[in-house]
Amino acid sequence: MRRVPPILLLFVLVPLLVEGFWVFWPALQGFWLALTNWDGVSAPRFVGLGNFSRMIDDPVFHTAVTNTAIWLVLFGGLSAAGGLGLAVLLQKERRGVGAYRAALFVPVVFSLVATSLIWQVLYQPGGIFDSSPLADPDTALYAVLVPALWRQVGYVMVLYLAGLKGIDPGLYEAATLDGATAWQKFTHVTWPQLRSVNSVVLSVIVIDSLRSFDVVWSMTRGGPYHSSELLSTYMYATAFQSLKLGYASALAVVIFVLAFGVIVTYLVRAFREN
């Protein structure tokens, strides 16, 4: 076996140390804080799993979990479907297609807070709607979902466009010679060839939906009366408005477990198939 040159070891170890100190160590502390009651000033008080058992009776936590699930399904599903649809539609090079792609990608460039401000104005009572959908607890979550999707679809589209470019055109020629219809080409050539992109898209979507925060916070702050609360906004409000950092850390652990769980399950499956 060839000896690893020390300079390369250094290149691995130094970033690992930096990462360990600035990322892993605080993350581990987060797990510890989840087992305590802490106001950010006094010493944390150990309460075991008290924070987690408290979630069971916390109605706002239940709303936040339900909303996060709705968000994951709608935000994830619609942006994946929309992104793929647009990518397939816009993959062929023809005149002006670049302008369409750019137009769909532009929302990704905007800061989400700026995006929310624009949409807030659109939603204002007396504008498109007589009364603001953001103020109605039945519609608030969906009203926030639309701008989030508006942005995410462009992003997913670019990922899929890159994936589509990587497919060997020979496969399509062969399929055409075999008399495949457009739909057959999609299901038997395009979709299987996109498998590696799909795992990227899935990870991106799961992570993005669980960390969706800015758009909700700047548009509704989880309101009216917690109806658009996500786990992320509830965690923030618990930590920095109510100053219950222990409970907030426990919420963060829940978010982590959800994100990690979904992604690991998928990756394990994907590796097994390979």
Partner 1 sequence: MDRRHFLRVTAAAGAGLLVSGTASCATSASSGPVAQTAGTATIQSNLSAPAAKAAIEALVKAFNDRRGAQVSVNTVASETFRTQLPSYLTSANPPDLFTWYPGSLLKGYEEKGLLLDVSDVWQTMGDYPQAFKTLSGKVFVPTTYYWWGFFYRKSNFARWGVTPPKTWQEFVALCQTLQGKGVVPLGMGAGADSPWTASSWFDYFNIRINGAPFHRELLAGKQRFDDPKVKAIFTPWREVLPYTDPNGTAIGFQEATTAMLQGRTGMLLTGAFFADAAPKDAIDDIDFFRFPIIDPKVPLAEEGPTDGFFASARSPHVKELKEFLTYAATAEGQEVYLKASSGTVLPTHPGAKDTGTPLVQKGRAHLKEAAEITQFFNRDSSDALQPTADAALVKFLQQPDQLDSILATWQKAAEQVWSA
Is residue 77 near partner 1 by the rule CB under 8 A?
Answer: no
The mark string for 35-64 relative to partner 1 (x by CB under 8 A, - otherwise) is --x-xxxx----------------xx----
Find the shortest distance in angstroms from Cβ 38 to partner 1. 10
Rg (CA), the chain: 23
Find the shortest distance in angstroms from Cβ 206 to partner 1. 27
Tell which one of 24, 31, 46, 225 touches partner 1 (CB under 8 A). Answer: 225
Q: Cα(64)–Cα(252) distance, rounded to whole angstroms?
A: 13
Q: Cα(268)–Cα(263) distance, rounded to whole angstroms?
A: 9
DSSP state of 248: H
Q: Total residues at the site for partner 1 (CB under 8 A)?
A: 39
Find the shortest distance in angstroms from Cβ 112 to partner 1. 15
Neighbours of 211 (CB within 10 A): 13
Is residue 14 near partner 1 by the rule CB under 8 A?
Answer: yes
Tell which one of 62, 185, 188, 221 touches partner 1 (CB under 8 A). Answer: 221
Is residue 185 near partner 1 by the rule CB under 8 A?
Answer: no
Angle at 117 between CA 245 and CA 85, to 5 degrees: 95
Is residue 28 near partner 1 by the rule CB under 8 A?
Answer: no
Residue closer to partner 1 by CB (options 8, 99) is: 8
Q: Cα(212)–Cα(235) distance, rounded to whole angstroms?
A: 12
Maximum CA pair distance of the chain? 74
Q: Cα(206)–Cα(199) distance, rounded to whole angstroms?
A: 11
Is residue 145 near partner 1 by the rule CB under 8 A?
Answer: no
Span from 72-80, 105-113, 154-162, 214-222 in contact with partner 1 (CB under 8 A): 214-222
Q: Cα(270)–Cα(274) distance, rounded to whole angstroms?
A: 6
Residue closer to partner 1 by CB (options 172, 213) is: 213
Q: Cα(228)–Cα(216) distance, rounded to whole angstroms?
A: 8
Q: Cα(52)–Cα(266) distance, rounded to whole angstroms?
A: 26
Query: At 121, phi and psi to the nearest 5?
Result: -65, -40
Is residue 15 near partner 1 by the rule CB under 8 A?
Answer: yes
Q: Contact residues for partner 1 (CB under 8 A)?
A: 7, 10-11, 14-15, 17-18, 21-22, 37, 39-42, 59-60, 120, 124-126, 131-132, 134-135, 137, 219-221, 223-226, 237, 240-244, 247
